[in-house]
Amino acid sequence: MSTIRHIGTGWMIVLMLAVAGGQNSEPTALPAGSATVAELKGAVEVHSPQGDAVAAQRGTVLAAESKIDTAKGSVLLDLQDGSQVLVKPNSHVVLKAPTQDKGYWLELLLGKINAKVQKRLGNAPSFRMGTPTAVITVRGTRFLVDVDKKEHTRVEVYEGLVEVAGFLPGSTPVLVRPGFSTGVEQNRPPEQPRGIDNRENRDNHEMENRWNPGGAPGGHGEDDRDQRERPGTHSSTPNSGTPDPEHDDGPE
């Protein structure tokens, strides 16, 4: 009888330890600046920080300083902070650790990306990314960045506010509101924002369909999205330069 009691007590201790271990377990956090491949299409080359080729596929975790080259392909990345970046064809992107160096999350050296940045709350650091001619700073928004072979940077904003700065000493950054775009050339200050035409807005729909096939994030359909993003038809009237109040907290 004593032996049976000892066996029962032993199993109870094992069970209690297992439960305690399960309660204390936490999901493993990804390293700073890393990104997960959410979707991959076509020819995409990825190299590790050490220069080794990476056989990237859906679910692959890429470390900071990984290099991504798209030829005719594209890749959708989930960043560590919950933001998403669609790297479009013929682009060269380098992932960065925001806790180091310039505080970038990534650098776009050539090509085009669409980004949906997780909204920052309170004193959380702003999202920053770089190009050869500009620094883009946001606190939660959707925008496009395009860098051509002459290193001219173009930024289009679809939600929220985006601060765009050039590298010319003494130049003043510009704030770009929804429905507007700006450009930055080498050794030039950022251009004054101008309205985005309908053709440019339609280009953004490709990213929306990648994130949520058949509709925009939050369940908006194609017709609603087209109406919502066309300058002059949004309730916040993008051509007037008035941002959506929900996103009017600006970069810091």
Q: Which of 92, 86, 81 is nearest to 31 (CA)?
A: 81
Backbone angles phi, psi at 84, to 5 degrees: -130, 140
Question: pLDDT tens for residues 155-191?
Answer: 999 999 999 999 999 999 999 999 999 999 999 999 9
- Decide the pairing of beta strands 53-54 and 74-79: unpaired
Q: What pLDDT was estimated at residue 74?
A: 97
Q: Which two tokens stand for residue 69?
A: 């080259």
CATH 3.40.50.300, applies to 35-198: no
Which pLDDT band, with edges at 50, 70 and 90, does 31 fall under? confident
Nearest-angstrom CA–CA distance, 35 and 56: 12
Q: Give the Å distances, CA to CA, from 107 to 4, 80, 221.
A: 66, 15, 32
Q: 78 - beta bridge partners?
A: 36, 84
E strands, the chain, where?
35-41, 44-47, 53-54, 61-62, 67-70, 74-79, 84-87, 91-95, 106-116, 127-130, 134-138, 142-147, 153-159, 162-166, 174-176, 180-184, 194-195
User: Is 87 a residue whose pLDDT tops 50?
Assistant: yes
What are 123-156's pLDDT values in tens digits?
889 999 999 999 999 988 999 999 999 999 999 9
- Measured over the CA atoms of residue 118, residue 123, residue 124 and residue 125, the dihedral's sign is positive
